[in-house]
Structure 1
Amino acid sequence: MTQGKSTRSISKQERELVLEQDGPLWRGRFVAMASPCECLVRGVDESLAREVAESVAAEAWRIEHKYSRYRDDNLVAAINAGDQQWVTLDEETVRLLDFADQCWRLSAGAFDITSGVLRRAWRFDGSDQVPQPEQVHALLPLVGWDKVEREAGCIRLQKGMELDLGGIGKEYAVDSAFQRAGKLTDADLLVNFGGDLVARAATSPWQVGMEGTARPMAGQLQFTTGALATSGDSRRYLLRNGIRYSHVLDPRSGWPVADAPRAVTVFGQQCTQAGLLSTLALLQGRDAETMLRGAGVQYWIQWGDDAAVTG
């Protein structure tokens, strides 16, 4: 069993779905992936609103159970505890790992789902406990997507390596839940998991307020179809001798990315797409805005405590 793994029990309260009405708008609230989640649907009756909200919550909880690294009874735990043995994958996981491979290649290795082992040295709890260089260096042999072996429908990790899908899991869950809910109704729909969201509207646009890290970003965004995803270090960082160490680690060095923005929000057509671009921008450090301009997307960047830069 991989060190540090434990089953995280899910309480009845965490699996509770609350449905509220505000005029023509229905809002289903629940908790998943350690985030407040909601499903908004307009212009339907209560029965359909509840069915839609329940489908969104069920999909979020399913994906959390299957891919959370905090459990020792799911597929990720089996992969990480494989002890250099081949582990059989289902089709959904193959697609998700193919996407992770694409992220790794697009980022020249800066986005790497094997880098979770670095948390053994780094504890981003707002303290000043920066690890010693030798602690970080000792973990680098366990990091590297190119060290992972994959064959058709199977995967094998080197001893001590781990997969951590946290960098793509929530955005994937948003898109998947939205697709499932969209099959139940043609009504206006918005799915929001902890600020990462996707929506569509045929009647009136959705109005979404965006939060930065130190203070709210300027204005609100109105749109009928699209997705938003934010990456940042508002709550996970270290502060020592006036230097802020972001939780955004470069897996090639094991150390935080230098001069990274405090937060990046990207607007795209899918949440997975927006999430990938926001994360890749953070990994670019001071060149984040250059990368996003080159991608031709709408974005908001917050540097330190300054007002957000939009583009």
Structure 2
Amino acid sequence: MDQLFTVRFGAMACDCEIMLAARDEAEAQARAQPAIDEVRRIETKYSRYRTDSLLARIHADAGRRATPVDEETASLLAYADALYRTSGGAFDITSGVLRRAWNFRTAHVPTDAELDEVLPLVGWHQVERTDSSVYLRTPGMELDFGGFGKEYAADRAAAALSAQGVAHGYVNLGGDLRTVGPQPDGSPWEVGIQDPRSATDTIAAIALRGGALASSGDYERYMEVDGVRHCHILNPRTGRSCTWWRSVSVVAPLAVAAGSLATLAMLKGEDGLAFLRESGHPFFAVDHTGAVHRRDA
């Protein structure tokens, strides 16, 4: 019987790993490599930090001209549009520009005046799309695929593993996980949920025989000022940090769906619990008081 091997790598500013069943370490590495290459391809293409990425070209063209895009990018933009519409504008991939006012390496919470300078650059309604182009109408606008890019990469990497003949394994990109079947003996993968108030502890475990699990929380990038934790998940309307939830983890068939649901729940604040329940998906969530809310499969 094949053994389980772990192939670790770094991408998307996080620690990543691929677990898969193979005859030996060399076969495991060979089967994992196309999946790793796919993750890095997506990172290179859609990184907002690279000057040679597609997003960099789109941002440079903002207010000047439309930028040609391929079918993959058009599909992701269509997904972003669907998220914006179904969330009533809460999920807006133009809101990444708010990081100009927020610097989590310092303990400075932006003033209303500082946010007022960047909020006019936020608004999906200012984005014009066709099947082959995208145009940001206002100079200085940006797109940020951070709300689902890592999860999309996990799904694509899992597809690459399946194409290599892998039937048992998973892709874990910084805690966002997409499985490829159960363990070789048919048992589920036991996935730990990080305690949002401890970097080294887990607060729960979820069993997965298939599908994906993704998490969103206030513990990834944050600062605490006057006893209030301000995290990197920002309301696109106010520019302010989401404070109702410590963490939300969701199980769904695809990592991109699980991640979007988790982020939407964070953005919805107190209304996020009803949203999670209505979604029908299993979830594990910790609110700002430390109370746990969950729905098992």
- Give TM-score, length-normalised by structure 1: 0.88
Q: Which residue of 1 aligns with 2:48?
A: 69
Q: What letter corresponds to residue 240 of structure 1 in structure 2?
A: V
Q: What letter corresponds to residue 82 of structure 1 in structure 2?
A: D
Q: Is the 8 A contact 1:218 1:308 kept in 2?
A: no
1:274 is paired with a residue of what secondary structure? helix
Shift of 1:305: 6.3
The 5 Å alignment of 1:138-287 reads 138-157=117-136, 158-199=138-179, 200-201=181-182, 203=185, 204-215=187-198, 216-257=201-242, 259-287=243-271
12, 34, 43: which one pairs with 1:55? 34
2:80 is paired with a residue of what secondary structure? helix
Residue deviations 1:239-295, cap 9 Å, x none? 2222222322111121223x4201100011110010010000001111221110011
Shift of 1:306: 2.2
Determine the C-alpha separation between the residues in 1 that align with 2:229 and 2:113: 20
Q: What letter corresponds to residue 278 of structure 1 in structure 2?
A: A
Are 1:288 and 2:272 matched, yes or no? yes
Are 1:111 and 2:94 matched, yes or no? no
Q: Which residue of 2 aligns with 1:128?
A: 107
Q: What letter corresponds to residue 173 of structure 1 in structure 2?
A: A
Shift of 1:133: 0.5
Alignment gaps of 5+ in structure 2: none
2:211 is paired with a residue of what secondary structure? strand
Q: Is the 8 A contact 1:233 1:246 kept in 2?
A: yes
Shift of 1:219: 3.4
Q: What letter corresponds to residue 214 of structure 1 in structure 2?
A: R
Shift of 1:186: 4.2
2:82 is paired with a residue of what secondary structure? helix
Shift of 1:308: 3.2
Determine the C-alpha separation between the residues in 2 that align with 1:209 and 1:253: 33
2:103 is paired with a residue of what secondary structure? coil
Are 1:87 and 2:67 matched, yes or no? yes
Determine the C-alpha separation between the residues in 1 that align with 2:195 and 2:204: 11
Q: Which residue of 1 aligns with 2:76?
A: 96
Q: Is the 8 A contact 2:218 2:230 kept in 1?
A: no
Determine the C-alpha separation between the residues in 1 that align with 2:86 and 2:173: 25
- Give TM-score, length-normalised by structure 2: 0.92
Q: What letter corresponds to residue 12 of structure 2 in structure 1?
A: M
Q: What letter corresponds to residue 94 of structure 1 in structure 2?
A: A
Determine the C-alpha separation between the residues in 2 that align with 1:53 and 1:205: 21
Determine the C-alpha separation between the residues in 2 that align with 1:219 and 1:118: 33
Query: Which runs of structure 1 show a deviation greater than 4 angstroms over 4 or more consecutive aligned residues?
Result: none
Q: Is the 8 A contact 2:104 2:221 kept in 1?
A: yes
Shift of 1:217: 4.6
Alignment gaps of 5+ in structure 1: 1-22
Determine the C-alpha separation between the residues in 2 that align with 1:186 and 1:52: 8
Q: Is the 8 A contact 1:217 1:308 kept in 2?
A: no
Determine the C-alpha separation between the residues in 2 that align with 1:42 and 1:209: 20
Is 214-223 or 179-188 further displaced after alignment?
Answer: 214-223
Cα distance, 1:151–1:219 mapped onto 2, change above 3 Å: closer
1:285 is paired with a residue of what secondary structure? helix
2:9 is paired with a residue of what secondary structure? strand
Shift of 1:48: 3.0
The 5 Å alignment of 1:22-33 reads 24-33=3-12
Q: Is the 8 A contact 1:212 1:302 kept in 2?
A: no
**CA RMSD of the aligned region, Å?**
1.7
